[in-house]
Amino acid sequence: MSNEEARIGGTNSVSETASASDASENISAKPVGIFYGWWIVLGAVIGLSLGYSVIAMSFGTFIKEFETAFGWTRGEISFGSTVIGITAIIFFPYAGVLVDKYGVKKILIPSTFLFGLVMASMSLLTPSLWHFYAMCILIPLLGAGTAPLTYSRLLVSWFDKKRGLALGIGLSGVGLGTTMVPFLASYFIENYSWREAYLVIGALIILVVLPITKFVLVNKPKDKGLVADGVVLTDKEIKHRAETEQAQSHVRVGYTAQEALKKKAFWLMVGSFVITGLTTSTLLVHLVPMMMDRGASLQEAVGTFAYLGMSIVGGRLIAGYLMDKFFAPYVVVVFMLGPIIGLAVFAMGATGEMAALSTGLIGIAIGAEFDVMAYFTTKYFGKRSFGAIYGYGYSGFKLGASVGPLIMGVAYDSLGRYTEVLWGMSATMIIACVLILMMGQYPQLPSRPVEKSSR
């Protein structure tokens, strides 16, 4: 193994390379007060509220505007969501590898800046569908570093015993953004135009999120002389921790990405993510135009979407807490009952309060899902290749999310309704529950020494 590979492996290990004396000095320097990890959590909330996932989920807010401005059909517009998803499938695993190799900030900072630029440039769209599809390629290509994958890597580095709670709070930024961004977009659409809406979104990403990624976020607790969870150690514990870190500095715990691909649990996990993306993300893209087809105004339709964002936040917080207390697959299956019921109610023509309730049931499951990706990855495969394995799982989710909206858009163009597709997706969620239950108990993760370079 080369020196560079050894350095990369050290970055991924559960215990970072450190001498005993350095570890003692770093740990004893821990300040009294709020653990800095919670500032990382807050930074993740803000960053994810304007990250790639939120923008992708808010896609439906602009569908009616594109129909009016350019005369595109709903199927043609929905194919843009498919292009976004396919691009994410191709590039997100590489983003995970880059995060593992170079660290979170070296990927997150440039990605945030470029993502802000590409969102602002959406205001320059022309009537050419090819221009639209080209932009749909750039959105995930340049914004991959702003997705939950990157922030999850930060959170699992800063928290151990409170990992589920930290993931629940931090990743709730997606739910917060899902509530806020459609309202923001609809305000500018109704008072100015959809072009100004995209300009404002891009500006907020650069002016608000970029400084946080640069000046607030820190890759690892050790970089600030801290340890995971912010625990306060006695002198004896400090010495023991230093000795342990020295002993473990040449050991990596967990599976490589290649090894994970050979595990049944990996494919069961990815299969459940594909189905969840197929069902829940499809509704996200078409919710606003579907509610407007049923008589709602843009503001009323976006108001229904807001229930989704709030329930995503609730789902993340509750799921994160419960997964720390109970066996995670059981928790997830309970949450998955929400989309089964919610999609069925939408298939029956829900409007008003019933539509809001159904949206909430689906949002709770979406909130839990992204926590589950990070939690399952660490529990079943370890942190050795967290970024790459998470990237594969997220690509599975995006595979479903890229196909579903297109199916729904084509069905609408052909049938003039969504009913049959909604019934089918409700039934499909039952399969996702079965796959999760088949994953089995958490494995005993392998612990192996890091190979020395021969050079």
Confirm whether 259 is domain-assigned. Answer: yes
Confirm whether 130 is domain-assigned. Answer: yes
Per-residue pLDDT band for 176 (boundaries 50, 70, 90) equals confident
- pLDDT at site 107: 94
What is the residue range of 81's domain? 3-444
Confirm whether 450 is domain-assigned. Answer: no
Residue type, 248: Q
Query: In 3D, which of 405, 446, 433 has the Cα closest to residue 60?
Result: 405
- pLDDT at site 245: 57
Ramachandran category for residue 51: left, alpha or beta (phi over 0 → left; psi -120 to 50 → alpha): beta
Q: The pTM is what?
A: 0.71
Confirm whether 77 is domain-assigned. Answer: yes
Q: Long-range contacts: 241-248, Cβ < 8 Å, 24+?
A: 241/23, 241/24, 241/27, 242/18, 242/20, 242/21, 242/23, 242/24, 242/27, 243/20, 244/15, 245/15, 245/16, 245/18, 245/20, 245/23, 246/18, 246/19, 246/20, 246/23, 248/13, 248/14, 248/15
Confirm whether 412 is domain-assigned. Answer: yes
Question: Does residue 450 surpass a pLDDT of 80?
Answer: no
> Is there a contact between 308 and 178 (Cβ–Cβ < 8 Å)?
yes
- pLDDT at site 106: 94
The per-residue pLDDT for range 355-409, each reduced to its tens digit, is 888 888 888 888 787 678 888 888 888 877 777 888 888 788 888 888 888 888 8
Question: Does residue 302 surpass a pLDDT of 80?
Answer: yes
Q: What is the mean pLDDT of the chain?
A: 83
Q: How far apart are CA 435 and CA 274, in angstroms?
A: 11
The CATH number given to whatever domain includes residue 84 is 1.20.1250.20
Tell me how many domains the chain contains: 1
Q: Tokens 């989704």 belong to which residue?
A: 308
- pLDDT at site 15: 41
- pLDDT at site 132: 96
Confirm whether 339 is domain-assigned. Answer: yes
Ramachandran category for residue 229: left, alpha or beta (phi over 0 → left; psi -120 to 50 → alpha): left
Residues ≥6 apart with Cβ < 8 Å to 319? 164, 168, 331, 332, 335, 367, 368, 371, 372
> Is there a contact between 92 and 394 (Cβ–Cβ < 8 Å)?
yes
- pLDDT at site 267: 94
The per-residue pLDDT for range 208-267, each reduced to its tens digit, is 999 999 999 999 888 888 888 876 655 666 566 655 655 555 566 677 778 888 889 899
- Using only C-alpha atoms, what is the Rg of the chain? 22
Q: How far apart are CA 350 and CA 88, in angstroms?
A: 32
Confirm whether 449 is domain-assigned. Answer: no
Confirm whether 147 is domain-assigned. Answer: yes
- pLDDT at site 178: 80
